[in-house]
Amino acid sequence: MKFSIMRSLDTKQYPSLIGQSVEDLESLSIALGQPSFRGRQLFDWIYRKKVDDFTKMTDLPKSLQEKLKVYSLHPLKILNTNSSSSKKTQKYLLTTKKGMTIESVLMRKKNRATICLSTQVGCAVDCSFCATAKMGFVKNLSVGEIIDQYFQLERLSDTKITNVVFMGMGEPFLNYKNSIAAAKLLNHEKGINLGARRITISTAGIIGKIKKFTKEKHPFRLAISLNGSNHDQRLKIMPITKNQTFQNLLEAIKVYTNQSRKRITIEYVLIEGINNSKKDSLKLIEILSQIKCKLNVIPYNEIDSVYKRPSEEGIHVFLNPFKNAPFPVTVRWSKGQDIDAGCGQLATNINEQYR
């Protein structure tokens, strides 16, 4: 990042400041003829105080304020907002500087306000039940484009943001470096200072990156989209299972929980006629009893596809065997389905990406 900022000074292609680390901003300050501590002051104004106007950064000299005016703070702009009928969920359409669009979601439940962040434009994983997959893969979002979703949505929220989940458009572990850097900025004690336990990164099961995440001992919560009780079943709806096998994924999960001593969240999208039988329930109990985990069952949010959501009765038939399971089981009754803001429903019109 230091090199990119220095190069931008030469080419006049100025980066957005949201997304830059303390070290990046220190380097920028030096390049602008200021001592490095000015970068730390700038970091404080941007991330902790969340001030958008350079002229209101009162402990920065006016000469520096003037030089900073060529920089933009935000790499994203909000184009549209859509609220659910309950008013507890809002979906936001945002655009990058190059005109590509992404969606983010703000969800409220009791004293919790959670932002669902996107990490890519489109997605390369190609899960057949997911709307984002229909877009294909367009690009990885930058650190700034990921974390600016937090800034943009927090500014419009009437309640404090308590949780962040990397579960929007895209596969976070196929944009690993930027996703981790964004999580670190959210967690930075001299910045936003959101607790690591309140930041969850979800992956469809990129085994190499799960191992990397384990080795690097990141403090953030980890969630895995399992969505099947065996290899062949998962392969039908998640093509990555061909190379990221069911058994190898389970082994990577076990290593993570053993080494981190943290509970992992197993996400399970419940689809009628695919993975919702009592046999599946019993198999999951057998598999997950060996893992320190929580099972999060997500009744399928329908999109324009061949898949269907189980009936209410069918959902309860699937859940009944878990009454005596040795691990916690929750049901995510997704909010905002009426505005396509539920899990797996985020997508933008690919024909509008390059307007």
| Contact between residue 14 and residue 71 where contact means Cβ atoms under 8 Å apart | yes
- The total of other beta-carbon atoms located within 10 Å of residue 258's CB is 12
Q: Which residue has the tokens 């930041």?
A: 199
Over the stretch 296-308, which tens digit does the pLDDT of each residue have? 999 998 877 788 9
Pairing of strands 163-166, 199-203: parallel
Q: Are residues 158 and 284 in the same domain?
A: yes
Q: Which residue has the tokens 């598999």?
A: 287
Kindly report the pTM of this predicted structure: 0.89
Q: Are residues 226 and 80 in the same domain?
A: yes
| Contact between residue 15 and residue 4 where contact means Cβ atoms under 8 Å apart | yes
Q: Are residues 62 and 81 in the same domain?
A: no
Handedness of CA 17, 23, 25, 28 (dihedral sign): negative
Rounded to whole angstroms, how far apart are CA atoms 198 and 186?
A: 10
Q: What percent of the chain has pLDDT over 70?
A: 88
What proportions of the chain, in percent to the nearest 5, are helix, strand and coil?
A: 40, 20, 40
Q: Are residues 86 and 64 in the same domain?
A: no
Instruction: Write down the pLDDT at residue 341.
Output: 42
Q: CA 304 from chain center: how many Å?
A: 23
Q: Are residues 199 and 63 in the same domain?
A: no
| Contact between residue 69 and residue 53 where contact means Cβ atoms under 8 Å apart | no
Q: Are residues 103 and 188 in the same domain?
A: yes
Active site (catalytic) residues: 103, 343
Rounded to whole angstroms, how far apart are CA atoms 287 and 227?
A: 13
- Res 138 pLDDT > 60: yes
Q: What is the CATH number of the domain that holds 222?
A: 3.20.20.70
Q: What is the CATH number of the domain that holds 23?
A: 1.10.150.530
**Number of domains the chain contains:** 2
Measured CA angle at 212 (ends 327, 262), to 5 deg: 25
38: domain range? 2-68
Instruction: Write down the pLDDT at residue 84.
Output: 63
Instruction: Write down the pLDDT at residue 110.
Output: 85
**Which residue, of 30, 48, 68, is where some domain finishes?**
68
Q: Are residues 50 and 179 in the same domain?
A: no
**Which residue, of 22, 38, 68, is where some domain finishes?**
68
Q: Report helix angle 207-216 to 176-187, nearest 10.
A: 40
Rounded to whole angstroms, how far apart are CA atoms 110 and 88?
A: 10
Q: Are residues 311 and 224 in the same domain?
A: yes
Q: Point out the least confidently predicted range of 11-20, 164-173, 186-195, 257-266.
A: 11-20
Instruction: Write down the pLDDT at residue 132.
Output: 77
Q: Are residues 172 and 226 in the same domain?
A: yes
The mean of the pLDDT values for the chain is 89
Q: Is 329 exposed, middle or buried (0-12, 13-18, 19+ CB in 10 A)?
A: buried
CA-based R_g, the chain, Å: 21
Q: Is pLDDT larger for residue 130 or for residue 99?
A: 99
- Res 339 pLDDT > 90: no
Q: Are residues 145 and 61 in the same domain?
A: no
- Res 345 pLDDT > 50: no
Over the stretch 10-33, which tens digit does the pLDDT of each residue have? 434 567 999 999 999 999 999 999
